[in-house]
Amino acid sequence: MAQLLREGLGENSRKRFFPRCQVKDVYITVSIGLAQYKSQEDIKAFVNRVDQLMYQAKKNGKDRVCSES
């Protein structure tokens, strides 16, 4: 699943043209944290897990998806 997201979102964002940005080229990168909600989990704990995964993806480089094992 993470690989499908990375490939699909990465390709779509790189192919996008931004006509209003005529001064210079604009490049978009995507960093995603991917986790599954656990039954009875506190929503704040879930968001924190996903947030940490997103920051790990950013740390690993551009256009990354970081998911739980």
Q: What is the pLDDT of residues 4-31, one digit of tens each?
A: 665 666 566 655 656 666 667 666 778 8
* 3 state SS of 52: helix
Is the pTM of the predicted complex or chain greater than 0.85?
no
47: confidence class by pLDDT, cuts 50, 70, 90: very high
Single out the residue of 28, 26, 27, 35 nearest to residue 55, CA to CA.
35
CA distances from residue 39 to 13, 31, 45, 46, 56 in whole angstroms, order as listed: 33, 26, 12, 10, 24
